[in-house]
Structure 1
Amino acid sequence: MTYREIARKLRALGCEEIPRRSSGSHRKWYNPQTGRIAPIPDWGSKDLKVGTVRHIVQQLGLDWETFKQA
């Protein structure tokens, strides 16, 4: 799953991307429902590992099944 696919699903679930203040390959996302923040690697078209995506979903306080269906 690429960063763009993850970002689309997170937006559908109500999460917001925090504006970048510096350069780098990670972007921070905020879940206003839980108040949690998680960094997500933005590697362009390169896929992120499933374990990494699952950990991001867990950090944001989202349910994995809900995320997959979004």
Structure 2
Amino acid sequence: MRYIIDRISGEIAVCEDENGDSVKLKASELPQGAKEGDLIFKDSGVWCIDEKGSRERRRVMADKLNRLLE
């Protein structure tokens, strides 16, 4: 399952799963360089960033914002 990092507040990262449910993780568990809006998944017990998915999600969100502002 993939998660979206919704926000990082201190030592807690609030993530949203594919069903829209919120999950809290320790920020220290996140992969190096992870930031709000990144897609992450767990592989062999280690959190990883879905680089391609994160880029695509940001592109889609930017397109939606641009359409709203037109």
What TM-score, normalized by structure 1, do the two folds share? 0.34
Whose radius of gyration is greater, 1 or 2? 2
Question: Which structure's residues are more often strand, by fraction?
Answer: 2
Question: Which structure's residues are more often helix, by fraction?
Answer: 1
What TM-score, normalized by structure 2, do the two folds share? 0.34
Structure of higher RCO (CA pairs closer than 8 Å, 6+ residues apart): 1
